[in-house]
Chains A and B, each alone.
Chain A
């Protein structure tokens, strides 16, 4: 199992699409960081870049970006394998199908976590530099660091969720394109339609779950007179539910169906 995991990690690292996406993610975060640094330097008088306030915001930015990154990587990781037929080749070396899937999802998650930690390091470093150059880098007590670590961890969980969801969809459809298309159609069209027309579904929308998960809570209007409070735990449960259903169905079908 360890050897299979190592082989999967090597494969992920060797994929050009994964390298480019990682470079793009880190590049975007660098740009955001440089922009913050320049803005901090421009402000007249005492700086207003307060690390204590801005670092948790950075964690949320990383969360959103990491979820998108992980979705793209998860889709191409599983989709390319089905397109090339290498799933079949792998089963000639490790025929325990559920084990193969488990290792693949674990490898993907570890990869996303690693990239996520790097992303946090990049943005937090820029935030620290900006606050030190023209702002405030004080009040960083134990409580703050615990809060920041928790925010970072939540962002990483979002990344793992995005990756698992895309991996599951690409595994079900056997196609990178279909997984990406499903993601686009859901977020760009379906969720918008549901948000406006099917109000009762709003507490179950992935976008709302993300916001509640990152911000701690979200008030969702169900009608002109009625609202519902979506807590962080609710958001986490919704995300977990979707991931379990999609990956579970994919695993079940993969374990039972003939591999062609």
Chain B
């Protein structure tokens, strides 16, 4: 079952004396149940708008949006008890303590105060729960926002840049928390700029730019699809400059990168070895360049813009 379904979503923001800004331009998105789903895109690509639309905070101009099987926004009241969310920065009363902020929210859903203490412990804020939010660091506010999102024991957790302001240890803790939630059956939908984090944390990803979906699939699928299209090979050869010249003359794209060559345009590795061997240059190492999610992201999004 799809937990999130978006079909042809359009959204424009009208601006005074300026042309309207198109945030979503026919976005399609499908997020299955369970696991961690990474939602990636450069600034202004429509990530936050998508999240706001999913949560009923913004209305799409056109298109269909369903969350947990219910149409949004009409069906949101039925499914909101199962959705935990953190949109942009945590929205909390600065003059109240972290615990009081959470208790006020828990009170709306009739959750016991003990649940507040549980989530504070889960995000490592038990000792600071009684302090005013005004005195919290950015990372602590972020943890409190995540705690608020966890209060309901959600089936769907929507987090917009949850690692904002966290130190490396905090980033790792959040990563492990989200992975464990995803493994336990919660669907975690997370937008992030930290591509390395997403690669480690997410099972599936979607990459968007200019309000459109560019690619979606498992992390491996997305990376593999990109590698096939670029076909970069790392070649270590004794006479590097001469080898580069030879390969260029034979129609390959070659870059010299320190102690090795990066060659593109070969349909198979044997083409390289055969070409070089024909001139008595022998390859000592030949490996496919491993694409990362980061390289895929930049290639796709730079192409889109």
Enumerate chain B residues within 8 angstroms of A96, measured Cβ to Cβ.
77
A89 touches B92 (CB 8 A): yes
B55 touches A84 (CB 8 A): no
- Which A residues, 1 to 58, have Cβ-Cβ distances below 8 Å to chain B? 3-4, 6-7, 10-11, 14-16
Of all chain B residues, which has the CB nearest A96?
B77
User: Any chain A CB within 8 A of the CB of B62?
Assistant: no
B104 touches A10 (CB 8 A): yes
B96 touches A95 (CB 8 A): no
A84 touches B94 (CB 8 A): yes
Enumerate chain A residues within 8 angstroms of B94, measured Cβ to Cβ.
84
B76 touches A95 (CB 8 A): yes
A14 touches B107 (CB 8 A): no
B100 touches A7 (CB 8 A): no
Of all chain A residues, which has the CB nearest B56?
A95
Asked, given contacts A84-B92, A84-B94, whether A89 binds B77 with beta carbons under 8 Å apart, the answer is no
Could you tell me the distance between the alpha carbons of A94 and B93 in the complex, rounded to whole angstroms? Answer: 18
Partner of A94, one of B73, B80, B148: B80
Asked, given contacts A14-B96, A84-B92, whether A258 binds B104 with beta carbons under 8 Å apart, the answer is no
A92 touches B107 (CB 8 A): no
Enumerate chain B residues within 8 angstroms of A94, measured Cβ to Cβ.
77, 80, 108
- Which A residues, 201 to 260, have Cβ-Cβ distances below 8 Å to chain B? 258-260
Chain A window 67-97, contacts with chain B (Cβ cutoff 8 Å), 1 for yes, 0 for no: 0000000000000100011111111111110
A90 touches B96 (CB 8 A): no
Q: Which stretch (B32-40, B83-91, B223-231, B295-303) binds chain A?
A: B83-91
User: Any chain A CB within 8 A of the CB of B304?
Assistant: no
Determine how close the nearest CB of chain B comes to the CB of A248; give it in whole angstroms.
Answer: 21
Enumerate chain A residues within 8 angstroms of B76, measured Cβ to Cβ.
95
Interface SS of chain B: helix, strand, loop or mixed?
loop
Q: Please, how many residues of chain A have a CB less than 8 angstroms from a CB on the other chain?
A: 26
B93 touches A93 (CB 8 A): no
B80 touches A95 (CB 8 A): yes
Partner of B109, one of A3, A14, A88, A258: A3
Could you tell me the distance between the alpha carbons of A95 and B52 in the complex, rounded to whole angstroms? Answer: 12
How many A-B contacts are there with CB distance less than 8 Å? 69
Determine how close the nearest CB of chain B comes to the CB of A43; give it in whole angstroms.
Answer: 47
Determine how close the nearest CB of chain A comes to the CB of B69; give it in whole angstroms.
Answer: 16
Asked, given contacts A16-B95, A85-B91, whether A95 binds B73 with beta carbons under 8 Å apart, the answer is yes
Could you tell me the distance between the alpha carbons of A106 and B92 in the complex, rounded to whole angstroms? Answer: 22
Determine how close the nearest CB of chain B comes to the CB of A98; give it in whole angstroms.
Answer: 12
Chain B window 87-131, contacts with chain A (Cβ cutoff 8 Å), 1 for yes, 0 for no: 101111111100010001101111000000000000000000000
Determine how close the nearest CB of chain B comes to the CB of A229; give it in whole angstroms.
Answer: 46
A7 touches B107 (CB 8 A): yes
B108 touches A258 (CB 8 A): no
Enumerate chain A residues within 8 angstroms of B148, measured Cβ to Cβ.
89
Determine how close the nearest CB of chain B comes to the CB of A10; give it in whole angstroms.
Answer: 6
* Pairs across A and B, CB under 8 Å, 10 listed: A3-B107, A4-B108, A7-B107, A7-B108, A16-B95, A80-B93, A89-B90, A94-B80, A258-B52, A259-B57
Binding site for B on A (CB under 8 A): 3-4, 6-7, 10-11, 14-16, 80, 84-96, 258-260
Question: Besides A95-B55, A258-B57, 17 other CB < 8 A contacts?
Answer: A4-B108, A10-B104, A14-B100, A80-B93, A84-B93, A86-B91, A86-B93, A88-B57, A88-B91, A89-B90, A89-B92, A91-B55, A91-B57, A93-B109, A96-B77, A258-B58, A259-B57
Q: Kindly list the 6 A-B residue pairs having the minimum CB-CB distance in the complex, ordered from nearest.
A: A85-B91, A7-B107, A89-B91, A258-B58, A95-B76, A93-B108
